[in-house]
């Protein structure tokens, strides 16, 4: 397009301090902010505050008050400072800062504001907040105008034609001013060329001459697109124009989006949220939140029933079948009526046990629980049928009942990689655990929000919340977070109630070895990489005493083989590392499956059953798959047992289907390191849908495969090549519906190395 403005990052900020965080006993108030990298990090700081005169810290750099204004409102001048955002700063690639105030009273937060200016001579003495905004940007937020949106409410995933009306404030706007509208990249790409194609954008009503001059990536977010309009003539006060945009898809999860301020790259704004700049060289000023619009996405009607049984349990335990009604995209609770006219049966290879109907068993409007009778050892599945036709409506995962006297551990299902509003996700932090336990029917869960996106005080509170949901024997939570530094993303968890926080964006902890040195040989801590193919994982500073797993599947897709059907097609050759390539470097790692869901819904997040690999499954346009899960084999459902199961590689991964599998090599269970003269692989599999393929992978290559069409399978295969050095084997399952499972590997060494040989585990 012609006449395209050059938009720059917003270097001048006014930070509202009502969002500061406190924690009992903490000596400071704090918050996370993001500032753009700058060649010149010199800034002028002013603080509007009623009474106190706090010191201000940006990360490790502290600034003291220089002068207090004698006029009201009260401003404190901190003088000209250098912020840690320059060429030598870690912020050149992250933008994240921890902001702290020492000596500030909590009630003062409500009316306090921090001003950061590039004009080193700027003075705001005696200025109201609105006057300070005008001096900084030439325009106050209250004068930037307002927007209204139609429609304001949609069913999740619905196509829509949005109309946004922008209206100026009391001063109008001059010719040459810019109005910028944001569109999530998960929606259709805006375009002006084809009125019949998705994304078509046009100005349909106007009170002045206005045109769309730029459609392109947002300068402040890699997940948004900006539509920039230029006024060719001035707009009088309270006049405006209407922009129309259509999309063939919206988010598939329910949420209400509001606000207009771009505080972070991940700020979850409603589509077509607007901000205004007076000219090409002016900063964009966001509208006041009360002057912006909202969009509510709501679940669709009840369409699917999901049945959940436990994994592997003893015959002495009292067990429950749980049922969840959802809309097409697995959102709960559904709107409208729920058709629960069903019969529920428990099915084995030999018999069908009638469990009755859901009526009288509902624990929420969309959710029921049925206590099971005492069961004999065997494999069970639950089915829901129409009473008249016996048509099957839903089928559960398999459940294995074992005698209590057998030397075999139980199996539990969970998901330990979810994000919430505490970092770059949405959804309340506490709700992640409630949803995981009640809606997802999980037995363990963990939030792993990005450490660089929450403050120290928030971390203290987050650990309290996680601990409050921990119920040994029923539902286990792990304290954990995601570190993101020079070696790329690692998730770390503990079985304790507290975990030392490391941020990969901090200069002293940007390298992984600093965190691993802290946790070295700590048996109550475990860590590992996720999506190593997508996230360009760097394999250095590996500490095998801590780093014990790799997340082989998540909503990013699979990370086993580069040619896997679950690898996104945008992955370029040579990008990142596969799990197999990491194992090839000598790492001894188990496999987990996760979500990386960013809606606070661990294990049972929104999914498009017909659009895996093509539909954005979260706010990020490039997360295209359903949430994965981890199966943990352990004697007890508690934190210590769970962390030990992960550390000892007694876990396996699935794409979300609760497939039961047992895998051993020469009598060695999953995750083991042992000796044998021959490698004999034995496996049993009980699937959710018919099994299409079973594969055995040895040292990163498929060495045995078998096609079939059964729910259950038992295999035995002996490697014709005896082990001459160390080799690893793992099992890969593919169902007919495309869902998969990966066992953790087993490492075999030749028996000749057992005697008189000192074996050192890999430490590279």
Residue ranges with strand state E in 185-277: 201-206, 210-217, 224-231, 240-247, 255-257, 274-277
Which residues have CB under 8 Å from 269's CB, separation 6+? 182, 257, 259, 260, 262
- Provide the terminal-to-terminal Cα distance of the chain, rounded to the nearest Å: 52
| DSSP-based three-state secondary structure for 133 | helix
The predicted structure's pLDDT at residue 336: 87
Q: Domain 658-764: what homologous superfamily?
A: Immunoglobulins (2.60.40.10)
Q: Is there a contact between 713 and 691 (Cβ–Cβ < 8 Å)? A: yes
Tell me what percent of the chain is helix, strand and coil, each rounded to the nearest 5: 10, 40, 50
The predicted structure's pLDDT at residue 101: 98
Confirm whether 142-298 and 658-764 share one CATH topology: yes
Residue with tokens 């949803």: 435
CATH class, domain 418-656, is alpha beta
Q: For domain 304-408, is the CATH number 2.60.40.1930?
A: yes
Which parts of the chain sit beneath pLDDT 70? 1-8, 90-94, 753-764
pLDDT tens-digit profile of 681-699? 999 999 999 999 999 999 9
Q: What is the DSSP letter of 436?
A: I
Q: Is there a contact between 335 and 300 (Cβ–Cβ < 8 Å)? A: yes
CA–CA separation, 39 vs 591, rounded Å? 43
Which residues have CB under 8 Å from 573's CB, separation 6+? none
pLDDT tens-digit profile of 19-45? 999 999 999 999 999 999 999 999 999
Please state the pTM of the whole predicted model.
0.96
CA–CA separation, 15 vs 286, rounded Å? 13
Q: How far is CA 697 from the centre of its chain?
A: 30
Query: What residue ranges do the domains of the chain occupy?
Result: 13-137, 142-298, 304-408, 418-656, 658-764
The predicted structure's pLDDT at residue 762: 33
CA–CA separation, 394 vs 560, rounded Å? 31
CA–CA separation, 187 vs 251, rounded Å? 7
Q: How far is CA 425 from the centre of its chain?
A: 6
Q: Is there a contact between 247 and 278 (Cβ–Cβ < 8 Å)? A: no
Q: Return the structure tokens found at 461.
A: 């509170």
The predicted structure's pLDDT at residue 92: 61
CA–CA separation, 412 vs 632, rounded Å? 5
Q: For domain 142-298, is the CATH number 2.60.40?
A: yes
CA–CA separation, 172 vs 236, rounded Å? 5
CA–CA separation, 178 vs 173, rounded Å? 9
Q: Is there a contact between 116 and 239 (Cβ–Cβ < 8 Å)? A: no
Exposure string of 683-714, with b = 16+ CB inside 10 Å and e = fewer, is: bebbbbeebbebebbbeeeebbeeeeeebebe
Q: Is there a contact between 90 and 510 (Cβ–Cβ < 8 Å)? A: yes
The predicted structure's pLDDT at residue 93: 60
* Length of the chain (residues): 764
Q: Cβ atoms within 10 A of the Cβ of 148, count?
A: 15
Q: Is there a contact between 382 and 307 (Cβ–Cβ < 8 Å)? A: yes
Residue ranges with strand state E in 396-537: 399-402, 410-418, 444-447, 476-477, 479-485, 488-494, 525-529
The predicted structure's pLDDT at residue 655: 98
CA–CA separation, 181 vs 652, rounded Å? 44
Residue ranges with strand state E in 302-432: 304-308, 312-314, 320-326, 343-347, 352-356, 362-364, 367-371, 378-385, 392-395, 399-402, 410-418
The predicted structure's pLDDT at residue 755: 53
Q: How far is CA 746 from the centre of its chain?
A: 30
C-beta contacts of 715-718 below 8 A and 24+ residues apart: 715/681, 715/682, 715/683, 715/684, 715/685, 716/680, 716/681, 716/682, 716/683, 717/680, 717/681, 718/678, 718/679, 718/680, 718/681
Q: Is there a contact between 122 and 44 (Cβ–Cβ < 8 Å)? A: yes
CA–CA separation, 135 vs 158, rounded Å? 43
């Amino acid at each position: 397009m012609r006449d395209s403005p050059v938009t720059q990052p917003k270097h001048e900020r006014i930070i509202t301090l009502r969002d500061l965080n406190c924690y009992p006993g903490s000596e400071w108030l704090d918050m996370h902010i993001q500032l753009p990298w700058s060649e010149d990090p010199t800034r002028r700081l002013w603080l509007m505050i009623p009474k106190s005169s706090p010191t201000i810290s940006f990360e490790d750099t502290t600034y003291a008050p220089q002068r207090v204004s004698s006029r009201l409102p009260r401003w404190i001048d901190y003088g000209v400072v250098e912020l840690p955002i320059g060429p030598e700063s870690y912020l050149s690639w992250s933008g994240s800062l921890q902001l702290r105030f020492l000596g500030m009273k909590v009630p003062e937060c409500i009316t306090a504001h921090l001003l950061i200016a590039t004009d080193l001579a700027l003075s705001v003495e005696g200025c109201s907040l609105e006057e300070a905004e005008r001096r900084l940007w030439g325009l106050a937020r209250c004068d930037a105008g307002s927007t209204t949106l139609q429609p304001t409410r949609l069913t999740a995933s619905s196509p829509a034609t949005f109309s946004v009306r922008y209206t100026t404030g009391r001063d109008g706007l001059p010719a040459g001013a810019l109005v910028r509208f944001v569109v999530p990249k998960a929606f259709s790409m805006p375009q002006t060329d084809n009125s019949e194609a998705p994304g078509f954008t046009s100005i349909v009503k106007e009170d002045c001459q206005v045109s769309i001059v730029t459609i392109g990536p947002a300068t402040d977010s890699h997940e948004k697109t900006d539509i920039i309009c230029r006024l060719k003539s001035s707009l009088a006060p309270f006049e405006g124009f209407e922009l129309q945009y259509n999309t063939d898809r919206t988010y598939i999860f329910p949420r209400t989006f509001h606000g207009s301020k771009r505080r972070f790259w991940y700020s979850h704004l409603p589509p077509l949220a607007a901000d205004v700049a007076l000219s090409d060289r002016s900063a964009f000023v966001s509208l006041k939140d009360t002057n912006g619009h909202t969009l509510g996405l709501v679940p669709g009607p009840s369409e699917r029933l999901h049945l959940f049984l436990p994994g592997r349990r003893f015959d002495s335990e009292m067990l429950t079948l749980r049922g969840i009604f959802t809309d097409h995209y697995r959102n709960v609770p559904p709107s409208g009526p729920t058709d629960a006219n069903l019969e529920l049966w428990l099915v084995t290879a030999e018999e069908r046990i009638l469990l009755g109907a859901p009526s009288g068993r509902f624990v929420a409007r969309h959710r029921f629980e049925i206590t099971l009778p005492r069961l004999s050892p065997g494999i069970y599945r639950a089915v829901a049928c129409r009473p008249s036709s016996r048509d099957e409506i839903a089928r559960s995962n398999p459940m294995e009942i074992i005698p209590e006297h057998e030397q075999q551990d139980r199996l539990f299902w969970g998901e330990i990689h979810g994000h919430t509003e505490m970092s770059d996700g949405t959804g309340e932090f506490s709700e992640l655990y409630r949803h995981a336990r009640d809606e997802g029917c999980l037995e363990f869960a963990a939030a792993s929000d990005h450490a660089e996106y929450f403050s120290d005080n928030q971390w203290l509170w987050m650990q309290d919340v996680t601990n409050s949901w921990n119920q040994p024997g029923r539902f286990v939570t792990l304290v954990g977070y995601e570190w993101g530094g020079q070696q790329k993303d690692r998730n770390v968890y503990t079985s304790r109630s507290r975990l030392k926080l490391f941020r990969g964006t901090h200069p002293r902890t940007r390298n992984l070895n600093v965190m691993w040195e802290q946790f070295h040989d700590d048996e109550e801590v475990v860590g590992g990489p996720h999506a190593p193919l997508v996230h360009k994982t760097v394999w250095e500073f590996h500490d095998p005493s801590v780093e014990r797993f790799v997340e082989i599947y998540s909503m990013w897709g699979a990370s086993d083989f580069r040619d896997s059907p679950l690898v996104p097609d945008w992955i370029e050759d040579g990008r990142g590392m596969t799990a197999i390539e990491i194992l090839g470097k000598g790492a001894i790692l188990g496999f987990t499956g996760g979500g990386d869901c960013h809606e606070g819904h661990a294990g049972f997040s929104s999914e498009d059953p017909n659009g895996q690999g093509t539909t954005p499954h979260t706010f990020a346009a490039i997360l295209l798959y359903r949430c994965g899960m981890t199966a943990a084999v352990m004697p007890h459902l508690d934190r210590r047992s769970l962390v030990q199961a992960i550390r000892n590689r007694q876990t396996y991964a699935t794409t979300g289907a609760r497939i039961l599998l047992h895998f051993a090599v020469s009598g060695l269970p999953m995750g083991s390191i042992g000796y044998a003269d021959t490698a004999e692989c034995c496996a049993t599999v009980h699937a959710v849908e018919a099994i299409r393929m079973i594969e055995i992978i040895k040292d990163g290559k498929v060495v045995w495969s078998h096609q079939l069409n059964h729910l259950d399978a038992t295999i035995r295969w002996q490697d014709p090549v005896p082990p001459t050095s160390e080799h690893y084997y793992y099992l890969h399952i593919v169902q007919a519906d495309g869902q998969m499972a990966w066992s953790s590997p087993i490492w075999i060494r030749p028996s000749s190395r057992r005697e008189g040989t000192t074996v050192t585990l890999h430490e590279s």
